[in-house]
Amino acid sequence: MIPAQNPAAAAAPVLRAAPRRRLRNPALRRFCRHRLAVFGACAVTLLTLLCIAAPPLLPYSDTFIDIRARFTPPGGSSAHLLGTDQLGRDMLSRLLMAGRISLAVGFSAMLISMVIGVCVGLVAGYYRGVLGTVLMRFVDAMLCFPSIFLLLAVSAFIEPSVSSIILLIACTSWMEVARIVEGQIRALRERDFTLAAHAIGAGDARIMFRELLPNAVAPIVVAATLNVAHAILAESYISFLGYGIQPPTPSWGNMLDNAQTYLESAPWLAILPGAMIALAVTSFNFIGDGLRDALDPRMEGR
């Protein structure tokens, strides 16, 4: 009976089902229904690709000073698509090079702060007791310091460089993650599968990283996305105030540093980098929101 079947007929339903299979993952489907999140994901991808690939293709490098062409408004010259700054440097080129730095700071600071936050949260949630209490009270204490004040106070002591700024931002933004992870782990360790893992003789590290952590991954992913947004914003704040990424290395924040001086004559110097920050941060926030809805359907629409 089976060999007699027409192979084409058997394949047909599979073929028809194929396009739908791509979105069988309910989380992915919910994410794609979240239009703003899809917009955010597209914008971030496009922005990252542009920042990485486009600068060498542009007619002017970001450091080329064309003093005669300074303060060219956007669209004022065919050579400088987005105009030039006070030294005649090409704005588009500078914006994309600055994007490399700002996005790199955002991603790296997020990775480091996630490692710190997840480890602290895991240990505090798993061991609880004195160790857990001390760790979480430390988190509470760190959260009492307004972030910009803390960032500026420490950055005044250190030699500003891209890597020190990344570390600094990471060290001041891991606390929320620690809180989230601690709450998750605290609840998860009461579940039966943790007991089962204990019963088969699994060690603490194995239970923490192989059993508990994978089950808490959804809120961690959401927190990570929002953390990138926070880190980009934090970098822009301290760079704007003059204690972050130092010129001539451009970042979206330090491009705004002296833009206030030229606000009257050259408003695009202030508007363009700020718009890039707003676009990048909004996109990451949209993605985070979409991921939250996608990974935790109970929270949808809240």
Partner 1 sequence: MSTYLLRRLFQALVLLLIVSAVGFSILHLAPGGPLSQFAAGGEMTQADLDRIARDMGLDRPLPVQYAEWLWHMAQGDWGRSYRDQQPVLHIIVAHLGATLELMLTSTLIAMALGSWIGILGAMRRYSLFDSLATIGAMIAVSIPTFWFGLVVIWLFSVTLGWLPAGNRYTVGDGSWLNQLHHLIAPSMVLALVSTAVWSRYMRSSMLDVINQDYIRTARSKGIPERRILFRHTVRNALLPMITIAGLQLPTLLSGALVTETIFTWPGMGRLFLDSINYRDYPVVMGILMFTAVLVLLGSLVADLLYGLADPRIRLA
Regarding 130 and contact with partner 1 (CB under 8 A), the answer is no
Residues 207-246: x/- map of binding to partner 1 (CB under 8 A)? ----------------------x---x--xx--xx-x---
The interface region with partner 1, picked from 11-19, 63-71, 197-205, 257-265 by CB under 8 A, is 257-265
The interface region with partner 1, picked from 48-56, 57-65, 72-80, 133-141 by CB under 8 A, is 133-141
Residue with Cβ nearer partner 1 (58 or 271) = 271
Which amino acid would we find at residue 92?
A: L
Regarding 129 and contact with partner 1 (CB under 8 A), the answer is no
Q: Which of 31, 126, 174, 286 binds partner 1 (CB under 8 A)?
A: 286
Regarding 81 and contact with partner 1 (CB under 8 A), the answer is no
The interface region with partner 1, picked from 4-12, 13-21, 63-71, 265-273 by CB under 8 A, is 265-273
- For residue 116, which of 71, 173, 72, 65 has the smallest C-alpha distance? 173
Contacting residues for 202 by C-beta, under 8 A, at least 6 apart: 210, 211
Residue with Cβ nearer partner 1 (7 or 146) = 146
Total residues contacting partner 1 (rule CB under 8 A)? Answer: 47
CA angle centred on 121, ends 115 and 126, rounded to 5°? 125
How many residues are there in the chain? 302
Contact 267, 72 (CB under 8 A): no
Token pair for 11:
């394949």
Question: What is d(CA 30, CA 290) in angstroms, rounded to the nearest whole number?
Answer: 8
Q: How far is the CB of 183 from partner 1 (least distance, A)?
A: 16
- For residue 250, which of 236, 231, 267 has the smallest C-alpha distance? 236
CA angle centred on 288, ends 155 and 169, rounded to 5°? 10
Token pair for 198:
């204990």
- For residue 95, which of 284, 216, 269 has the smallest C-alpha distance? 269
- For residue 285, which of 218, 227, 236 has the smallest C-alpha distance? 227
Question: What is d(CA 39, CA 37) in angstroms, rounded to the nearest whole number?
Answer: 5
Regarding 167 and contact with partner 1 (CB under 8 A), the answer is no
Residue with Cβ nearer partner 1 (169 or 233) = 233
Q: Which of 57, 156, 199, 200 binds partner 1 (CB under 8 A)?
A: 156
The interface region with partner 1, picked from 46-54, 63-71, 213-221, 255-263 by CB under 8 A, is 255-263
Q: How far is the CB of 286 from partner 1 (least distance, A)?
A: 6
Question: What is d(CA 232, CA 168) in angstroms, rounded to the nearest whole number?
Answer: 13
Residues that bind partner 1 (CB under 8 A): 36, 137-138, 140-150, 152-154, 156-158, 229, 233, 236-237, 240-241, 243, 253, 256, 259-260, 263-264, 267, 270-271, 273-274, 277-278, 281-282, 285-286, 289, 301-302
